Amino acid sequence: MTIGELIIEYGKQDTPYMGNLVNHLPMGQLALYRLSGDLDLVKDYSDYFKQKFQINQIKENQNKSNSLESCLGKRELYESCLMLVRERVRQEGIDKLVREVLNQYPLGMSSGLFHVLIRLAYAVEGAELEEKLEEEVARALAYYVTAYREADVLNRRIPISQIFSDMNQLINHKKIRKLLEAQPSTGSQMKALYESKTFMEMGFVMEGSEEEKIKGLISLLLPVFDQSSSIVVLHCITGLHALVNLKKYFDDFENAFDIYTTCCLAHLLTVEDLTYHEPDKESISLNWKEIIVLCLSSRDVHTIKFTYSCHELDQRYCVEGLKRSAHKKVTGK
């Protein structure tokens, strides 16, 4: 059995959901395989996951949707949308359809705490390894469309050196705090922020080159992850890895990165008691081989995915703190 056959077989009856949570299995399977190269380990983990968690199953006898637009934001149409996407993938290929979805609906990239983007990035990476995983791309695209929740994009551009002070101003702003406290759920907090003149005027995106901005966002996120172990901050980091992996599909990656930054800021504001400060510059005597060995014994899918994302981002951007944060997640220290 190949990794492609394993992912397709284990997921053939599964939706992207586990009740109100997200089904992480296909993402965890590929991350574990990329870290270990060990199919037996991935199969063992898959059996554990299936036994441990209740994944929502595909509904039978659904009618195919007529268009992506008619499915937008309608979770209950996942199966109908998947039938349409499969047909279009067969006719047009995955590249064209991935490009269409990401460029028509970029404001949906943070839906489900960035999981729509993350699952799509893993699916595309898998399909590049093995053509069989084009089916997983179809599943991920149907999820992206049906889970769609629209964000917005900020346009006040600031120097990277200013991001810590401006973020602390945002989280301490009385109007924003009052706005967030009045909302009953994270989803309504996000919606209220995008409708808030204060947030849209005070929020920011970054100046600089593409690499500088990516490193800037990493430097904003890592210290607050180390401080809080927040699952929201974790997904801002794994989502960034996904965005970078999908770069070639965006017609305007600078705009996509600004949308991503906006979504990160909005999500971060929903987490209480975070303080933003420059990362610790002290180097650490850890290597990735040691961290990965520790990770491979974990049963926690977020530990596996986070380690993989930190490793891949570090290989590309050489940010010292990524090792520290991965080690913290793996060891809990």
Burial class (CB in 10 A: 0-12, 13-18, 19+), 90: exposed
Q: Where are the domains of the chain?
A: 3-146, 157-269, 288-331
pLDDT of residue 286: 83
Per-residue pLDDT of the chain (333 residues; tens, 9 = 90+): 999 999 999 999 999 999 999 999 999 999 999 999 999 999 999 999 999 999 999 998 889 999 999 999 999 999 999 999 999 999 999 999 999 999 999 999 999 999 999 999 999 999 999 999 999 999 999 999 999 999 999 999 999 999 999 999 999 999 999 999 999 999 999 999 999 999 999 999 999 999 999 999 999 999 999 999 999 999 999 999 999 999 999 999 999 999 999 999 999 999 999 999 998 877 777 899 999 999 999 999 999 999 999 999 999 999 989 999 999 999 988
Q: Report the C-alpha gap between 118 and 103 in whole angstroms.
A: 16
Sign of the alpha-carbon dihedral angle for 253, 258, 25, 15: negative
> Strand 157-158 vs strand 205-206: parallel, antiparallel, or unpaired?
parallel
CB-side exposure of 127: number of CA atoms within 13 Å?
Answer: 21
- Alpha-carbon separation of residue 76 from 17, 110, 136 (angstroms): 11, 19, 19
**What Cα–Cα distance (Å) separates residue 33 from each residue in 39, 81, 246, 281, 294?**
7, 29, 20, 32, 15
- DSSP 3-state of 157: strand
| 8 A C-beta contact, residue 120 and residue 112 | no
**How far is Cα 192 from Cα 179, in angstroms, rounded to an integer?**
7
- Residue 61: the pLDDT is 83
| Cβ 190 vs Cβ 113: under 8 Å | no
Query: What is the predicted pLDDT for the residue at 13?
Result: 96
**pTM for the full model?**
0.97
pLDDT at 322: 96
Residue 274's CB is within 10 A of a number of other CB atoms, namely: 18
DSSP-assigned letter for residue 270: T
DSSP-based three-state secondary structure for 22: strand
Q: Which residue has the tokens 């809990």?
A: 332
Per-residue pLDDT, 320: 85
Q: Residue 62 has what DSSP assignment?
A: P
Q: How far apart are CA 73 and CA 54, in angstroms?
A: 23
**Contact criterion met (CB below 8 Å) for 234 and 130:** no
